[in-house]
C-alpha cells in the first residue's frame, strides 16, 4: 500500500525520515532507467526540489511545520505554470515558449504549504483525451500488468504514474472530462475532482474553461481532502469524518454507465455495491434518463470543442503540423460551432443540471463505475485511429457526466489486491464537496477492510 500524507508526516515528526531523504528516494525512482520516469516526467527539478526539502527539514527542526504537506514531494501536471520553467502542456507546440514568470495559483498554494515540487508530469497533449497517450514525449504505462504496457489514463497520465510508482507522494492534476479520475482508476489511486469553481486556476493552460477543474491524485480519501483544503484555501475546514453507515442513503446510477462494460468492471463494481449494502448502507438503483441525452447535446463537439478551438485557433493556423493529429482533429470540430450553438449549449446545460440535481435530491451521493473497462494496451490504441477514438469515447463517458453536471466526485479503488484496477466513482452536485469526501471516507473504510 502507498504511504499516506498523515503517515509520512508522523515519520518526519518522529525523525524516522527527512524531507531530503524522501525527495532523494523520489528522484532515484524517476531516474531509474528500468522504470517509467523518463515517460512520466517532461521536466525534473532535482536541485530546486532538494533545496526546498532542506528548507523544510530546517523549519521542522525549529518547530515549524507549515501544513500536513510540508516536506513531501508533489508532482505538477505540465499544464500549470511553475516559475522559471516552460509550461509545455504535453505539446511540442509550446516547447519554445518563455519560462513562466510566476507560479500558477494552485502551485503557489502548494509551495506555500511546504510541498516539494519535484517536476512537470507528462500528459495527453493539451489535455484533450482520456487515454494518456502522448506521441511527443512517450506514454508511461499503468502499474498493473506492466509487461503488457497498458494505458495510464489521461489526460493526467504522468500524474497518476508518478504517485503509483513512488516518484511523488501526491500529484496535482486537472479534470475537464475525467482527467483526474481516469488515471486514478487505472493506476489504483484515489483522485478528487472538486466543484470547478472551488480551486482557482490562474496560470493553468485551459482546455475548456466551463468544465476545467483542478484537484489531487493521492493514496487515500484523507490525502485528497488535505490537498483539497490547501488548493481551495479551505484549510481550516474540519477533516473528513465518515458518517454512520446506517444513516447513509446512496444511489447507483442505472442508466448508461454500465453500457459497454467488460466483465471485470461489472463484477468488481457489483461486488463493491454488495459489500456496502452488507455493511448497512441503504442503496437504491436510480434511473437518470438525462444521462442518455448528453451525447445528443454534445453531438457537434460540445463545450469542450468550442472552448478549446477558441484557445487554439491562432496556434493551429501556423503550427498545426506540430500537433498530435488525434488532438488537433478534435479541436477543429469547434470551428463549426457558432455563437448561437454555444449559447444554446449553456442553456441546455443549465436545464440538464437542474433535472439531474432534482433526481439526486435526498441522496448523499451517486455511485457509478469511474470507467466501464479495464485499461487497454498502449500498442492497440496507438495502432488504430478507430480503436483510439472508440476507447477514448467509452473511457471518458462516465466521468464527463459529472463535469457537465458541474459536480464533484471521488474515484476510489474498489478491486481486490492483485486484480485489474477498477475505480468506484462517488459523485454529487456542485458544492457538495465536503459531503462527498465524508461519504468517500466511509466507503473507503468498508472496501478497505478486506
Q: How many CB atoms lie within 10 A of CB 38?
A: 16
Sign of the CA dihedral running 95, 100, 106, 109 = positive
Rounded Cα–Cα distance for residues 435 and 441 (Å): 10
Task: Check 19, 56, 77, 213 and give the catalytic one.
Answer: 77
C-alpha cell at 374: 479495464
The SS3 call for residue 47 is helix
Residues forming beta bridges with residue 175, ordered by sequence position = 213
Contact 90, 123 (CB under 8 A): yes
C-alpha cell at 205: 493552460
244-268 residues labelled b (16+ CB within 10 A) or e (exposed): eeeebebbbbebbbbeebeeebeeb
Contact 185, 371 (CB under 8 A): yes
Rounded Cα–Cα distance for residues 68 and 310 (Å): 39
Active site residue 56: no
The SS3 call for residue 119 is strand
Which one, of 223, 234, 160, lies nearest residue 195 by Cα? 234
Contacts of 396 (CB under 8 A, 6+ apart): 130, 177, 178, 182
The answer to whether the peptide bond before residue 207 is cis (omega within 30 degrees of 0) is: no
Rounded Cα–Cα distance for residues 268 and 278 (Å): 15
| Concatenated DSSP letters of 213-224 | EEEEEESSHHHH
The kind and range of the H/E element at 309 are: helix 302-319
Burial of 386 (0-12, 13-18, 19+ CB in 10 A): exposed
Task: Check 155, 156, 213, 328 and give the catalytic one.
Answer: 155
CA distances from 93 to 25, 96, 103, 269, 316 (A): 33, 8, 21, 40, 9
Task: Check 129, 156, 179, 232 and give the catalytic one.
Answer: 179
Active site residue 155: yes
Contact 375, 434 (CB under 8 A): no
Torsion of CA 204, 404, 91, 84, to 10 degrees: 10
Torsion of CA 7, 8, 14, 20, to 10 degrees: 170
Active site residue 14: no
Q: How many CB atoms lie within 10 A of CB 278?
A: 9
* Catalytic residue list: 77, 155, 179
Amino acid at each position: 500500500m502507498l504511504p499516506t500524507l498523515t503517515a509520512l508526516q508522523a515519520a518526519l515528526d518522529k525523525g524516522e525520515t527527512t524531507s531530503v531523504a524522501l525527495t532523494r528516494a523520489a528522484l532515484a525512482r524517476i531516474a531509474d532507467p528500468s522504470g517509467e520516469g523518463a515517460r512520466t516526467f517532461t521536466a525534473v527539478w532535482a536541485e530546486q526540489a532538494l533545496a526546498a526539502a532542506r528548507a523544510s527539514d530546517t523549519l521542522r527542526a525549529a518547530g515549524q511545520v507549515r501544513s500536513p504537506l510540508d516536506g513531501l514531494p508533489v508532482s505538477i501536471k505540465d499544464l500549470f505554470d511553475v516559475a522559471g520553467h516552460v509550461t509545455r502542456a504535453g505539446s511540442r507546440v509550446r516547447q519554445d515558449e518563455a519560462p513562466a514568470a510566476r507560479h500558477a495559483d494552485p502551485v503557489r498554494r502548494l509551495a506555500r504549504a511546504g510541498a516539494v515540487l519535484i517536476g512537470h508530469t507528462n500528459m495527453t497533449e493539451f489535455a484533450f483525451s482520456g487515454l494518456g497517450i502522448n506521441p511527443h514525449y512517450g506514454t508511461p504505462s499503468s502499474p498493473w500488468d506492466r509487461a503488457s504496457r497498458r494505458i495510464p489514463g489521461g489526460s493526467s497520465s504522468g500524474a497518476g504514474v508518478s504517485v503509483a510508482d513512488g516518484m511523488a507522494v501526491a500529484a496535482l492534476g486537472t479534470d475537464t472530462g475525467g482527467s483526474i479520475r481516469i488515471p486514478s482508476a487505472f493506476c489504483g489511486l484515489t483522485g478528487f475532482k472538486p466543484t470547478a469553481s472551488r480551486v482557482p486556476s490562474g496560470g493553468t493552460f485551459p482546455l475548456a474553461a466551463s468544465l476545467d477543474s483542478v484537484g489531487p491524485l493521492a493514496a487515500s480519501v484523507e490525502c485528497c481532502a488535505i490537498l483539497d483544503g490547501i488548493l481551495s484555501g479551505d484549510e481550516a475546514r474540519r477533516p473528513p469524518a465518515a458518517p454512520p453507515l446506517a444513516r447513509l442513503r446512496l444511489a447507483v446510477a442505472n442508466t448508461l454507465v454500465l453500457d459497454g462494460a467488460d466483465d471485470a468492471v461489472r463484477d468488481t463494481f457489483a461486488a463493491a455495491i454488495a459489500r456496502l449494502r452488507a455493511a448497512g448502507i441503504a442503496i437504491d438503483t436510480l434511473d437518470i434518463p438525462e444521462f442518455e441525452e448528453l451525447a445528443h447535446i454534445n453531438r457537434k463537439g460540445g463545450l469542450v470543442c468550442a472552448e478549446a478551438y477558441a484557445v487554439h485557433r491562432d496556434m493551429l493556423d501556423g503550427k498545426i503540423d506540430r500537433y498530435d493529429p488525434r488532438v488537433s482533429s478534435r479541436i477543429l470540430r469547434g470551428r463549426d460551432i457558432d455563437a448561437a450553438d454555444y449559447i444554446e449549449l449553456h442553456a441546455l446545460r443549465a436545464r440538464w443540471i437542474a433535472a439531474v440535481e432534482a433526481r439526486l435530491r435526498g441522496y448523499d451521493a451517486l455511485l457509478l463505475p469511474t470507467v466501464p473497462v479495464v485499461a487497454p494496451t498502449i500498442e492497440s490504441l496507438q495502432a488504430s485511429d478507430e480503436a483510439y477514438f472508440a476507447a477514448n469515447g467509452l473511457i471518458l463517458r462516465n466521468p464527463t457526466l459529472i463535469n457537465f453536471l458541474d459536480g464533484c466526485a471521488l474515484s476510489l479503488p474498489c478491486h481486490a489486491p492483485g486484480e485489474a484496477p477498477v475505480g468506484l466513482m462517488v459523485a454529487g452536485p456542485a458544492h457538495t464537496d465536503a459531503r462527498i469526501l465524508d461519504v468517500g471516507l466511509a466507503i473507503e473504510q468498508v472496501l478497505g477492510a478486506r
